[in-house]
Amino acid sequence: MLKQSNGLIVFKAFGDDDGEDQEPGAQPNITETPEFQAALEAKIAEVLASETTGLKNKNAEILAEKRKVQEQLNAILAQAEDKADQEALKAGKLDVQSLIDKRVNAANQTWQERLQAEQSEKEELRKAVEAEKGRLKQFQIKQLVGSEFLKNEFAQPTALDDVLNLAGSNWELSETGELVSRDQAGNVRMGKSGKALTPKEWIEDLAGSRPHYFKQLPGSGGKQGSGGAGKSVSRSEWQQLIAMASPKEQQELFSKRANGEITVA
């Protein structure tokens, strides 16, 4: 395309801007081309994206640190006993070590109170167990002595309760489960054989000290044999004779008592 300007002929490609204000022979500014503008915008976007990502990451770190500090502060505030401690902590006036000592002392006091409560509860349980053991031993003592009492042919069944009450204060159960009778000094009572007193011997002795615990013996009180030559023995002596006799001797004793040769006073 030819264009004449001021007597000069200028060649211009088809489609080029043919603005009237451009000086003949002038070249277009490269920074104003669409290509340059597009490249510039892309670079700016890239730099902005990089800077923005860094700022976002830094902001996230700052927020995380802030949350951490806030959580720590909340934890300390939660441990404060009253509003005054909280206000002092917020204002930076409270000695943290003093607060820690205060908290530790309070926790220690609480722990001591709980420990004392548990120890008291254990002591109550121990006493309850010991009391139950005592009741069980008394039951076993009364059962064993009562059984021995009822074996006595002269025992008065109505006296059983009195005998059991008496047994509770005269007998104890050893760790091996054996009945042991002790005197007021704590010494083991001995029987006539030189060995520890047995429940059977103790019951026979009751015939002399508490005759009303036993039935009235047949022939007791004075039936004499012919000529008045009958032998008189006490109830306890009679029971001892029976206890020491063989089955044959026991039959002879019962026969003598029946015909009056032996009377039980």
Q: Which residue has the tokens 């109170």?
A: 113
- Tens-place pLDDT, residues 15-71: 555 544 555 545 555 556 777 677 767 777 776 666 667 666 766 777 777 777 777
In angstroms, rounded to a whole number, what is the distance separating the alpha carbons of residues 181 and 170? 6
- Tens-place pLDDT, residues 107-133: 788 888 888 888 898 899 899 888 888
pTM of the model: 0.42
Has residue 179 got a pLDDT over 80? Answer: yes
Query: 67-81, 100-114, 160-174 — which is least confidently predicted?
Result: 67-81
For the chain, what percent of residues have pLDDT higher than 90?
0
Within the chain, strands assigned E span 2-5, 8-11, 171-173, 179-181, 231-233, 262-264
* Cβ–Cβ under 8 Å, residues 164 and 146: yes
Per-domain residue ranges for the chain? Answer: 216-265
In angstroms, rounded to a whole number, what is the distance separating the alpha carbons of residues 143 and 167? 10
